[in-house]
Structure 1
Amino acid sequence: MKYRKIVWLLALLSIPSWPLLAQQSKPTPYLPTHADILQRYRKVQLLDSITRKTVFKHNVDANWLPDGETCWYINYSKDSAKTYYLVHARTGLKEMVTDTAKIAQLIKNKLPANPVKAHGPSRWEGFAADSISPDKQWVATTIDGNVYIRKVADGSLTKFTSDGHEKHDYYGALAWSPDSKYLVGYRIHPVEDSAVYYVLTDVPGTTRGQLRSQPYKQPGDPFTSYEMYVFTLAGKTITKVKADLIDFFDAPVLHWRYNDPRYFLYEKVDRGHQRFRVMEVDAVNGNTRTVLDEQASTFIYEARLYTHYLPETNELLWTSEKDGWRHIYLVNTLTGQIKNQVTKGDWVVRDIDSIDTKKRTIWFRASGMHTSEDPYFIHYYRIGFDGSKLVELTPATGNHQVFFSPDRKYYVDKYSQVNIPPVNELHRTADGGLITVLEKADVSAWQATGVPFPVPFTAKGRDGKTDIWGVMCRPSDYDSTKLYPVIENIYAGPQDAFVPKSFMSYYIEMQSLADLGFVVVQIDGMGTANRSRAFHDVCWKNLADGGFADRILWIKALAQKYPFVDTARVGLYGTSAGGQNALGGLLFHPEFYKAAVASCGCHDNRVDKQWWNEQWMGYPVGKHYEEQSNVTNAGKLKGSLLLIVGEADNNVPPESTYRVINALIKSGKTFEFLPVPGMGHSDGGPYGRIKKRDFFVKQLLYATPPDRNINE
């Protein structure tokens, strides 16, 4: 009965909820009247409401009991009623639990969750070292910028340095050796970051704008630097380490040799992200030795650079793209030689989840090993340090998430695709064997609404060989005899890939925008991550590229397959780096893109944060920064533009947008602008999203959106 009501409501809006079957020789542009648009806005509001809580059994949140052999979970119905299930992992037997006392006991006895977490601490963060020596006999401290050692027994002080100052060139970041014989520290030359500012224009209880500021390092700004020293307790000696100045990142973590704590390792990343080294220091004389030295002609993606030290065996697990793909290597830290490449092939290690040093096993995630499926799909594996005994834990086609039992004897594998609902399976960890299917998502209520799932699509990129992947959302009621304008949801930031790969159990913004009468797409072009090194390298000193050459070909190929796609009316929108890309589409590719909404864009990479922009645009700041700036190129604007900025943006300084505006004004260009008082880094919030919808309705559908001042 409830589904009949849904169909009746859709019919009231006089827009069919199924594709029309009539065919014409040539589709004609969809050009809705004002009345049609009003109905579409109402329909979107209705669909947002009726699609809620229409996907069931899509998630199994397993709660394990102390025996390690049983778990329980809850299924929810449309009215939020709960059904409890108890699972016997060894056999896969599942039973419904209705006894309230037993349910209470299950809840009381559940063990803490054991989520799979990727490894990789940030090198931007300093380390915390204990000031008390491992033998508990000494305390390391600084007084007025100099190094002192306090004896715990009697509190007596020994001064090691006298050339430190309280506010500049002081000593700090002290760390003990495991045998308490050595103390490593640094003479630090601090740099105070310059501030960026913004004004809050409407603070309650005030009549004046409120100035706010924060320290903010931009590309080219100096870093605090560190000179390494070793302080020896026996003899009270000071040795300056024979090493390059550390002038990028914080003081490094030290890794002491297990059976000879005279030596320690530390990491050094050179500014510009083109060189990474692991250095060994001899604490006795300050001599250094290069253990590992990786250099790149483009960049080393520092945030994805993984190292795991094995001091007991003098080994290091390290990830590198040295063969063109991100893989794991085992390094002998005594000789600096690579013992073996642990993983290899034309696929990508995405994350390392855990290391079992006793069994010499690595648990990791990867994508691209299955050549017949989407190369972004994540699968889970384990492998021996020597590259043998590779076990795939998640063989089914799809994008996977794994949840282990606390003792890792079992795991729940949840997998799906954007257009294929989730399946939750219980597996044995020992061999990856399937025990039972716990749940398959029920989407019948969703399908009754008529809202389609996103459509995956792939086409060749600019080289004619590389597959470019994306998704399309089309109107729920699309008419195959009509041509619908295209809107691209763009974010070409090189730090990741962004097209969704898993099933989404809610009415996503792309679909709601499509239901206004658009084809809405999202694409990962060249220059984004999670593919080959060559794919990623396209972004190097080249952020203005944005993968547009691939995106345009993809949309044209989409139109070849789906005749209802109108490539004569194409717009795009994005936030942050996506805001930079959205405006870039109009500046650099006006022959294809006709309208753009750019929110909180980092329009000039010299204005945005140092760590992100130097990673991709390089150091030092060269002329290419200026040449690729949206500010510099603002005079090239063609097409229709809406700029949005939150005045309290502390991620990308608001002046990034205001500098574009000033350049547009000086060039005599026409554009729209929405500043949002009090808002931070965002797409403009609910009001900004309304303005975005209205903008595209006007610019691509040539229709008049609702007049909300008369409650139309």
Structure 2
Amino acid sequence: MRRALLTLALLATPALAQTDPRVARSIALRDQWQWLTRDIAFPAEWDADGRHFHYRKTVAGGFAFVDVDAATRAKTVAFDAAAVAKGLGKALRKTVDPRRLPFEHFAFAGERRAIDFAIDYAPWRCTLTDYVCAPASGEGPRPRGFGVVRDLKVPARNVPHRSPDGAREALVIDDNLVLRAAGGGAEAWRSQDGSPGDFYDPETISWSPDGKWVALYRVRPGYRRIVTRVVSSPKGEVQPVLAEQLYPKPGDAIDQERPVLFEAETGRRVDVSNALFPNPWQLGAISWRKDGRSFAFDYMQRGFQHAGVIAVDAETGAAHEAVREDAKTFIFNERRYAHDVGDQGRELIWASERDGWRHLYLIDAATGRVKRQITRGKWVVRDIAHVDDEQRRIWFSASGVTPGEDPYHKHWFRVDFDGRNLTRLTDGNETHEASFAPDGRTFVDVHSRTDVPEVADVRDAVTGTVLATLERGDVRALAAAGYRPPEPFVAKGRDGATDIYGLVVRPRDYDPAKHYAVIENIYAGPHDSFVPKGYWPFGAFSGGDKAMGMQQIADLGFIVVMIDGMGTANRSKAFHDVAWKNLADSGFPDRIAWMKALAAKDASVDLSRVGIYGGSAGGQSTLNALLFHPEFYKAGVAFAGCFDNRMDKIDWNEQWLGWPVDASYLAASGVVHADKLQGKLLLVVGEQDSNVDPASTMQVVDALVRADKDFELLVVPNGEHTVGRSTGPVAYGQRREYDFFLRALGGAR
């Protein structure tokens, strides 16, 4: 009887948690704090002509958009937000608050008589004359599954491409390139060898500046893998329906692109050998040099270990490597950068990690040899914002330059092509986001720190002098409501030498005499670093939901931490390379060492009760913490995890685990290692996750059941990738997560 009563009590605990005052208080915190800051500016966006820029900032109850005259610095309202909200509300059939418009960015269009923006990634336009809002019309490019497999069920955008003199046009008909007189006139010639299995892509057509040549890509299509999901509870319907998505996965055949060149006058085809770029992951856009005698494109070889820029002679089709990059581990595809100096094909500015740190190089594009290393040192070039070919000068951001400062803080610099006159343009122990004017003469600098709210300045791009201050963030109301910034903490990593950086968030009623379980908020994806460096909780680059969620969990009676371990980006190449074919690592040896160092300094930290939570790649890391480090981590909540990298999207996984698929994919798999589970686990998945195949979660469930492991599962019908982590009027996922941690770890003792 005693055992039966205990079981009933445990089963009743989740229901009791609905009325737990700690849970209710934490969930309510967002509404209490969310709109308390004032004049927190977000990064600026410039008009193409450079005459104006605009930005978003916090105001009472929400946000406002501000437009600035670049010459006078005069500020005005960017548009009538109330009228836009009314127009959007009519189109969306719901009430829209003008202080909380459903977009963060916009661009002026039609001579500033309309604005373009996106709602849930779909393009929209609102006119600023009669305030009519509607989804944007117009044919877009053919979708590509994660960039590497064209969706051939969607017609390509096949608009005629006019020659530079306007007399002729090129397009594709029946998979073949056709050249004819402009306006649908007489056909001059067409290729004859195109077919659905080896077609000419109309979206890649590029004329030479002199109109003598037409270049484009020919494509052998890859495997059209379709993920099918059951929509169990379609809104307004009774019966389930199916949803399909083009979703290439690791190892799948991808589109094979090859450049082909035609002489416009005769139709003579010039083939380009692919010997220098075999098995490409993807080829960049065809870019002609000014003289029309050659064109270039960048490439990445599948496997992410060889990349470069290929230059092609138009007369002969002969190709050479303008620059080549090789790596024993991986080349970070998203951080590749190449700039053709003067569009002449003689010199390139190239970003490389070949000396162990990301730096800029001046390349002789005729030979591919390095003429000069422009930047050097044990620091990292982050963003390249502007290159002035005439002045031979570059503007860029970097982190780790200043000894003693957080190495993730970004500062802005200029440097000459010869490496001289390296000038720091931003100051202070803060992180900076810059938006440069199209002419590169000025930039808007939004800077802050986790304990210093945003300030937005206009600076001179040559000297860094502040020309005007646009906004100063006001957080007095937030502080009065009880908000306190997180605590930075630095400790040595697994090697006993490398500094590992993180943040600590404590409950507002923290008592140093008590003992607190620790919960780690983890995201260890190798594509970036993730511990916020800007002001919390609603600053320009803070990750507001991330910060707020940590405080909400802390207020339950926990100490919450976030850490950037080895394997994440924005440090040295060696620091990053820890992730190569090693996603199971997730920086755990560094994270555990960091938390042990924190406990050594703070007796209130109870490492006998450590929990962890994360979504997507963070969900995978959460499960792996319980599989591979159960001696340390005792409970975890994994949202929308990519638990087996063979099941996830092709681009992210092949970038870090390589190609072809090998044993490294199995080493990180929560399915393969499910039998190792110890501790308490809650899995949360959205039925309609379009980012990570939800079958990845269900395969873990299957493996755990077969291994006879206990766990909890929450499947949300119609839920997308952010299910359980997004906020709503019910905050159901939050409540379940908070209840789980209270049951699994307890609070303060």
Q: TM-score, normalised by structure 1?
A: 0.83
Question: How far apart in 2 are the matches of 1:76 and 1:151?
Answer: 54
2:8 corresponds in structure 1 to: none
How far does the alpha carbon of each residue in 1:491-548 deviate from its partner, in whole angstroms, 9 at most, with x for none? 1110001111111145711011101100001111000011100000000000011000
Q: Which of 353, 359, 372 is equivalent to 1:321?
A: 353
For the 8 Å contact 2:584–2:667, the answer to whether it is kept is no
Q: TM-score, normalised by structure 2?
A: 0.79
Q: Report the CA distance shift for 1:439/1:235 in structure 2 as closer, same or farther (over 3 A).
A: closer
Q: Which of 550, 561, 567 is equivalent to 1:527?
A: 567
The AA in structure 1 aligned to 2:169 is: V
Q: Which of 319, 322, 345 is equivalent to 1:291?
A: 322
Residue 534 of structure 2 is aligned to residue 489 of structure 1: no
Residues 571-590 of structure 1 aligned to structure 2 (within 5 Å): 571-590=611-630
How far does the alpha carbon of each residue in 1:343-374 deviate from its partner, in whole angstroms, 9 at most, with x for none? 11111111111222232221211111112111
Question: How far apart in 2 are the matches of 1:358 and 1:188?
Answer: 38
For the 8 Å contact 1:458–1:468, the answer to whether it is kept is yes
Q: Report the CA distance shift for 1:243/1:49 in structure 2 as closer, same or farther (over 3 A).
A: closer
Residue 739 of structure 2 is aligned to residue 694 of structure 1: yes
Q: Quote the offset at 1:110 in angstroms.
A: 11
Q: Which of 679, 690, 696 is equivalent to 1:656?
A: 696
The AA in structure 1 aligned to 2:632 is: F
Question: How far apart in 2 are the matches of 1:647 and 1:459?
Answer: 40
Question: How far apart in 2 are the matches of 1:361 and 1:341?
Answer: 14
State which drifts further: 305-314 or 417-426. 417-426
Residue 598 of structure 2 is aligned to residue 598 of structure 1: no
How far does the alpha carbon of each residue in 1:262-281 deviate from its partner, in whole angstroms, 9 at most, with x for none? 32222221100000122222
Residue 652 of structure 2 is aligned to residue 612 of structure 1: yes
For the 8 Å contact 1:112–1:406, the answer to whether it is kept is no
For the 8 Å contact 2:41–2:58, the answer to whether it is kept is no
Residue 680 of structure 2 is aligned to residue 644 of structure 1: no
Identity across the alignment (%): 43
For the 8 Å contact 1:242–1:288, the answer to whether it is kept is yes
For the 8 Å contact 2:385–2:436, the answer to whether it is kept is no
Question: How far apart in 2 are the matches of 1:637 and 1:45?
Answer: 30
Q: Which of 164, 183, 190 is equivalent to 1:134?
A: 164
Residue 609 of structure 2 is aligned to residue 569 of structure 1: yes
For the 8 Å contact 2:37–2:59, the answer to whether it is kept is no
1:269 corresponds in structure 2 to: 300
Residue 370 of structure 2 is aligned to residue 333 of structure 1: no
Question: How far apart in 2 are the matches of 1:225 and 1:46?
Answer: 52
Q: Which of 205, 208, 220 is equivalent to 2:251?
A: 220
Secondary structure (helix, strand or coil) at the match of 2:515 reads: strand
Q: Quote the offset at 1:690 in angstroms.
A: 1.1
2:191 corresponds in structure 1 to: 161
2:88 corresponds in structure 1 to: none
Secondary structure (helix, strand or coil) at the match of 1:582 reads: helix
The AA in structure 1 aligned to 2:742 is: V
Residues 440-519 of structure 1 aligned to structure 2 (within 5 Å): 440-506=472-538, 508-519=548-559
Question: How far apart in 2 are the matches of 1:63 and 1:140?
Answer: 35
- Structure 2 runs not aligned, ≥5 long: 1-15, 78-110, 116-145, 151-155, 539-546
How far does the alpha carbon of each residue in 1:432-456 deviate from its partner, in whole angstroms, 9 at most, with x for none? 1245766654433333333321111
Q: Which of 268, 284, 287 is equivalent to 1:237?
A: 268
Q: Report the CA distance shift for 1:251/1:140 in structure 2 as closer, same or farther (over 3 A).
A: farther
Q: Which of 374, 391, 394 is equivalent to 1:362?
A: 394
Residue 423 of structure 2 is aligned to residue 391 of structure 1: yes
Q: Quote the offset at 1:243 in angstroms.
A: 2.2
Q: Report the CA distance shift for 1:427/1:650 in structure 2 as closer, same or farther (over 3 A).
A: closer
For the 8 Å contact 2:527–2:568, the answer to whether it is kept is yes
1:38 corresponds in structure 2 to: 20
Residue 452 of structure 2 is aligned to residue 420 of structure 1: yes
Secondary structure (helix, strand or coil) at the match of 1:545 reads: coil
Secondary structure (helix, strand or coil) at the match of 2:235 reads: coil
How far does the alpha carbon of each residue in 1:76-97 deviate from its partner, in whole angstroms, 9 at most, with x for none? 8768999x9999999x9x9999
2:200 corresponds in structure 1 to: 171
Question: How far apart in 2 are the matches of 1:72 and 1:284?
Answer: 46
For the 8 Å contact 1:200–1:648, the answer to whether it is kept is yes
For the 8 Å contact 1:37–1:516, the answer to whether it is kept is no
Relative contact order, higher structure (CA 8 A, sep 6+): 1
Question: How far apart in 2 are the matches of 1:640 and 1:484?
Answer: 18
Residue 37 of structure 2 is aligned to residue 55 of structure 1: yes
2:83 corresponds in structure 1 to: none
How far does the alpha carbon of each residue in 1:29-71 deviate from its partner, in whole angstroms, 9 at most, with x for none? xxxxx99993433443564444344434444899999xx9999
Question: How far apart in 2 are the matches of 1:627 and 1:179?
Answer: 54
For the 8 Å contact 1:569–1:594, the answer to whether it is kept is yes
Q: Report the CA distance shift for 1:451/1:146 in structure 2 as closer, same or farther (over 3 A).
A: closer
Question: How far apart in 2 are the matches of 1:645 and 1:607?
Answer: 15
1:708 corresponds in structure 2 to: none
For the 8 Å contact 1:603–1:631, the answer to whether it is kept is yes
For the 8 Å contact 2:43–2:433, the answer to whether it is kept is no
Which of structures 1 and 2 has the bigger CA Rg? Answer: 1
Secondary structure (helix, strand or coil) at the match of 2:372 reads: strand
Residue 405 of structure 2 is aligned to residue 373 of structure 1: yes
Secondary structure (helix, strand or coil) at the match of 1:179 reads: coil
Q: Quote the offset at 1:216 in angstroms.
A: 0.8
Question: How far apart in 2 are the matches of 1:169 and 1:149?
Answer: 19
Residues 77-226 of structure 1 aligned to structure 2 (within 5 Å): 131-152=161-182, 155-165=185-195, 167-172=196-201, 173-226=204-257
Aligned-residue CA RMSD in angstroms?
Answer: 3.7
Q: Quote the offset at 1:682 in angstroms.
A: 1.4
State which drifts further: 305-314 or 451-460. 305-314
Residue 713 of structure 2 is aligned to residue 673 of structure 1: yes
1:547 corresponds in structure 2 to: 587
The AA in structure 1 aligned to 2:302 is: R
Question: How far apart in 1 are the matches of 2:654 and 2:440?
Answer: 40
Question: How far apart in 2 are the matches of 1:501 and 1:445?
Answer: 22
2:662 corresponds in structure 1 to: 622
Question: How far apart in 2 are the matches of 1:458 and 1:580?
Answer: 25
Question: How far apart in 2 are the matches of 1:72 and 1:597?
Answer: 40
Secondary structure (helix, strand or coil) at the match of 2:315 reads: coil
Q: Quote the offset at 1:406 in angstroms.
A: 7.6
Question: How far apart in 2 are the matches of 1:185 and 1:86?
Answer: 41
